[in-house]
Structure 1
Amino acid sequence: MKIVHLVPSMESGGVEQVVMELGSGLAARGAENIVVSAGGRLVPLLEKEGSRHILMPIGKKSLATFFRIGALRALLQAIRPDILHLHSRVPAWVGYLAWKKLPPEDRPGLVTSVHGFYSVNRYSAIMSRGERVIAVSNCIRDYILSHYPSTPEDRIRVIPNAISPEQHYPGYSPSREWLTGWYMAYPELKGKFTLCLPGRITRLKGQLDLIPIIRKLLEQGIPAHAVIVGETKKGKEEYKNEVLREIERAGVSHAFTWTGHRQDLRDIISTCSVTLSLTRSPEAFGKSTLEALALGRPVAGYAHGGVKEQLDAFLPEGNISVGDTSAMAALLARWYAQPPPLPRQIPSPYNIEDMIQAHLDVYKELASRS
């Protein structure tokens, strides 16, 4: 089995993490896994775990990107994969058009993964054109069927993103060395009720909503402290400055810590009191919230999208109406007084081995048909 994945880059993000996990798991099962992207910080690890990376910038929203259709078609003819898996819209267009230009007898099975609630238009419709379409949650399946009704229902497979029970389990705690370094870097967090908000610094992730939540908790005498974990990508600096101005205007600057991009999110989540999801637009899945639940840590989030699916299954008390910062603050105040009980195990289909096997089953289904 030979699989080619197309992604914009291997820098950071949820899609890239899924491709990393698939690469490691498929390679361990004897598949030849190839990732085509513009490169990035994750490439060395990707290759170390058994995948091959081919550098080709196919993710930039530019007319020049489409001049690489011929090069990608030639690459596919040389590699002759069993499966072409498209994970993002611009690479999907390039990949789909290159695939269409192959002789029908030479075309690999075509798989698309819908990783998000994309804007509904012809540009996004490409993600529903796979011979098999993978939805990362039930709400994404509903989104596909609602907005792209020409997609045959029997082509869609729901395969949730997942966690490794060997890495994320109740009772996990960071090493003493890590804790020493953490509190040396951020001494202001000692003894605080820490609220972790993971994710890149964009309006989508809801950092602004954290400000009234922190203010309300502090007014009640609760030693709340926000821990914002995520990088500020190019073009998002002004939004971060807007958040900083609002924090200062609210008088809560002392209760916010920004860590930037971190590779040790598991340790951070397991150390913080609560993990939050404050997205005003629904998330397709919510990997960090699932990781927190698997670690036995409380999660509170706005009740929509993939995060609501997780909370409905594992911690219904954590669901809060979208945008209701007062209700969120009230819930967190109760949890400060008495943390909620949490499930001791995140079951199938949220196990990473299940996720990898489900992908492999889809690939085999298409490959055997070919």
Structure 2
Amino acid sequence: MKVLQVLPALNGGGVETGTLEVAQALVNKGHDSWVLSAGGSMVERLEREGSTHVAWDLGKKSLLTLRHIWRLRTWLSHQAFDVIDVRSRMPAWVVYLAWRGLPANARPRLISTVHGLYSVNAYSKIMCVGERVVTVSQAARGYVMANYPDVDTAKLVVIPRGIEPSTYYPDFAPPADWSAHFSKEFPEAHGKQLITMPGRLTRLKGQTDFIRLMARLVHQQHLPVYGLIVGGEDPKRKAYAQELRDLVAQLDLTQNICFTGARNDIRELFAHSDVVLSLSSQPESFGRTVLEALSLGRPVVGYAHGGVAEILAELFPEGAVPLQDEEALLRSVLAQLQNPTVPATNTRFLKHNMLDMTLQVYEGSL
């Protein structure tokens, strides 16, 4: 097969990582793998692993982006792809309008992959346009069925995201030099139980809930705990980041909470943690960090909605709490700090399962 995946850019993130994983799987199976994006830091790896990258910015949310339709249609007719997989809304619009203008007998098979629980409108409905529509969780499938009831459910296929079990496994332990560096970087954490809250600094990720939970653990329960808020600061949301820091100071938690910024050692941080939290106020389409932490054998407590609810139900039902229920959250975290439960072994959400199912969809569409 000659397969083209289309997304806005390749600068890191779950969609981008999955795209590279599928690309490498295609190459390993002897297929011709292409990716079209505006480029980014992951292009070098993509090309090193045997795929062809085409630099084309179709992700800018502007009517001007539609000017690429006619040129793209000509290019597609020359390339003769067997399958196109669109993974984001704006590129999906451009690709679909170009694809629709090709002769019916010369069109590649069109796949669309629903990676998010997008705002419900005509713009987002483009992600249901594929001849097969892949959803990354049952929650994403439910989103499509509830909000776009005219979409033929027969073309929906659920392919959960997955992790590499040789990278995320229960017996993994950070190397001694990493642990020594952690102790120097976070001396206030010494002798305390570690609670980690991953997620970029945006209001939807629930850092405020985490800080208020920490205040109750420290000042009401008098527990020796230390919290890490792990995630980059959004340049457009600096006021929110400052709001969080002010709240930490106001609640007298400066010796108990640290903002780490973006990190490239999240696996080690998870493995070093006593509890990991997922407190997004809006449902996630999947919840990769929850899966990673659980696969490392760490307890995860999270709001049970969206894809996170699916993962917790499968691997760690003890960690599921109702959305923004502060009392249930406190009880669940206390239970795991005092008597931690071992998560079930992850045999479902695996990278090779995801890749096998994705290639089956590509092959079955021909």
TM over 0.5: yes
Stretch deviating more after TM superposition (163-172 or 264-273): 264-273
Q: Are residues 1:19 and 2:8 paired?
A: no
> Structure 1: how far apart are the matches of 2:182 and 2:238?
25
Q: State the Cα deviation string for residues 240-277 of structure 1 (Å, max 9, x = none).
A: 12222222222212222222222222112111111111
Task: Check conservation: 2:304, 2:322, Cα contact below 8 A.
Answer: yes
> Structure 2: how far apart are the matches of 1:87 and 1:154?
20
> Structure 1: how far apart are the matches of 2:17 and 2:160?
13
* 2:316 matched residue in structure 1: 315
**Counterpart secondary structure, 1:236:** helix
> Structure 1: how far apart are the matches of 2:123 and 2:308?
26
Question: Following TM superposition, by how much is the alpha carbon of 1:178 offset from its aligned partner in structure 2, in angstroms?
Answer: 2.3
**Closer/same/farther in 2, CA of residues 26 and 229 from structure 1, 3 Å limit:** farther
* 1:242 matched residue in structure 2: 243
> Structure 2: how far apart are the matches of 1:332 and 1:163?
25
Letter in 2 for 1:269: F
* 1:84 matched residue in structure 2: 84
> Structure 2: how far apart are the matches of 1:290 and 1:178?
22
Stretch deviating more after TM superposition (9-18 or 233-242): 233-242
> Structure 2: how far apart are the matches of 1:105 and 1:319?
49
**Counterpart secondary structure, 2:112:** strand
> Structure 2: how far apart are the matches of 1:231 and 1:287?
17
1:320-331 equivalences under 5 Å are: 320-331=321-332
1:148-227 equivalences under 5 Å are: 148-219=148-219, 220-227=221-228
**Counterpart secondary structure, 1:235:** helix
> Structure 1: how far apart are the matches of 2:106 and 2:214?
58
1:84-123 equivalences under 5 Å are: 84-123=84-123
Letter in 2 for 1:189: A
Letter in 1 for 2:257: F
| TM-score, structure 2 as length reference | 0.96
Q: Which runs of 5+ in 2 are unaligned?
A: none
Task: Check conservation: 1:194, 1:226, Cα contact below 8 A.
Answer: yes
> Structure 1: how far apart are the matches of 2:75 and 2:238?
37
Question: Following TM superposition, by how much is the alpha carbon of 1:175 offset from its aligned partner in structure 2, in angstroms?
Answer: 1.7
Stretch deviating more after TM superposition (212-221 or 72-81): 72-81
Task: Check conservation: 2:189, 2:225, Cα contact below 8 A.
Answer: no
**Closer/same/farther in 2, CA of residues 175 and 52 from structure 1, 3 Å limit:** farther
**Counterpart secondary structure, 2:47:** helix
Stretch deviating more after TM superposition (7-16 or 294-303): 7-16
> Structure 1: how far apart are the matches of 2:182 and 2:24?
29
Aligned structure 1 segments of 4 or more residues deviating by more than 6 angstroms: none
Count how many residue pairs are aligned between Structure 1 and Structure 2.
Answer: 365
| TM-score, structure 1 as length reference | 0.95
* 2:365 matched residue in structure 1: 366
* 1:2 matched residue in structure 2: 2
Question: Following TM superposition, by how much is the alpha carbon of 1:181 offset from its aligned partner in structure 2, in angstroms?
Answer: 2.7
Task: Check conservation: 1:232, 1:240, Cα contact below 8 A.
Answer: yes
Task: Check conservation: 2:159, 2:358, Cα contact below 8 A.
Answer: yes
**Closer/same/farther in 2, CA of residues 121 and 179 from structure 1, 3 Å limit:** same
**Closer/same/farther in 2, CA of residues 254 and 64 from structure 1, 3 Å limit:** farther
1:10-49 equivalences under 5 Å are: 10-49=10-49
* 1:336 matched residue in structure 2: 337
Q: State the Cα deviation string for residues 276-324 of structure 1 (Å, max 9, x = none).
A: 1101111111011011111111111001111111111111110111011
**Closer/same/farther in 2, CA of residues 187 and 53 from structure 1, 3 Å limit:** farther
Task: Check conservation: 2:215, 2:251, Cα contact below 8 A.
Answer: yes
Stretch deviating more after TM superposition (353-362 or 320-329): 320-329
Question: Following TM superposition, by how much is the alpha carbon of 1:90 offset from its aligned partner in structure 2, in angstroms?
Answer: 1.0
Q: State the Cα deviation string for residues 72-122 of structure 1 (Å, max 9, x = none).
A: 223322322111111111111111111112222221111111111111110
Task: Check conservation: 1:213, 1:326, Cα contact below 8 A.
Answer: no
Please provide the CA RMSD for this pair.
Answer: 1.5
* Percent sequence identity over aligned pairs: 39
> Structure 1: how far apart are the matches of 2:175 and 2:225?
24
**Closer/same/farther in 2, CA of residues 45 and 260 from structure 1, 3 Å limit:** farther
**Counterpart secondary structure, 2:15:** helix
* 2:285 matched residue in structure 1: 284
Q: State the Cα deviation string for residues 201-260 of structure 1 (Å, max 9, x = none).
A: 211211111111000110212122221222223312222122222222222122222222
Letter in 2 for 1:118: Y
Letter in 2 for 1:355: M
Q: Which runs of 5+ in 1 are unaligned?
A: none
Question: Following TM superposition, by how much is the alpha carbon of 1:179 offset from its aligned partner in structure 2, in angstroms?
Answer: 2.1
